[in-house]
Amino acid sequence: MSRMDAVDRAILDVLRDDSRTSIRDVATRVGISRANAYARVKRMVDTKVIRKFTVDVDHAAIGLGLSAYVHVRTKQNSWKSFRKKVWELEEAAHVALVTGDFDCVILVRARDADHLRELVLERIQALPEVVATQTVLVFEEHVGPS
């Protein structure tokens, strides 16, 4: 996408708040015509500014109330194979290649401390690419302004 203006950013704010907002409501809230809102959203989808529409899940309500960031140091040149294996873990919610003392950060969701222990000690650390891990528990989680 060449350039986003204030209207595009306002549309994104509306959709980030509720991705199910109708085009009619987006247009009303942003102060543009429905046709203009539709064209702008379509352009942002087509150019991958908007990658997907999603829902905000209460993880505790579905039995995954314990979240943690697992920092992982991997063997050199093993990121691609490691990433593929991590995405096979149903508990992995986000995987990022990072700089610093560790190579990767994984946001995981677990039922409880026993599940988290099993995930980190028996499954993640067992991957041949893994050199070391550090686990950081999440006490509170917030997505966007609330």
Which position has the token pair 């991997």? 74
Q: What is the pLDDT of residue 146?
A: 52
- C-alpha to C-alpha distance for 23 and 45, rounded to whole angstroms: 13
Q: What is the pLDDT of residue 2?
A: 60
| Beta-carbon contacts of residue 141 (< 8 Å; ≥ 6 apart) | 67
Instruction: Please list the rounded mean pLDDT of every run of 10 residues in the chain (146 residues).
Output: 85 93 96 96 95 88 94 94 94 95 96 97 97 96 69
Q: What is the pLDDT of residue 57?
A: 85
Domains of the chain: 6-46 (1.10.10), 59-137 (3.30.70.920)
Q: What is the pLDDT of residue 145?
A: 61
Number of neighbours of residue 34 by Cβ within 10 angstroms:
14
Q: What is the pLDDT of residue 54?
A: 87
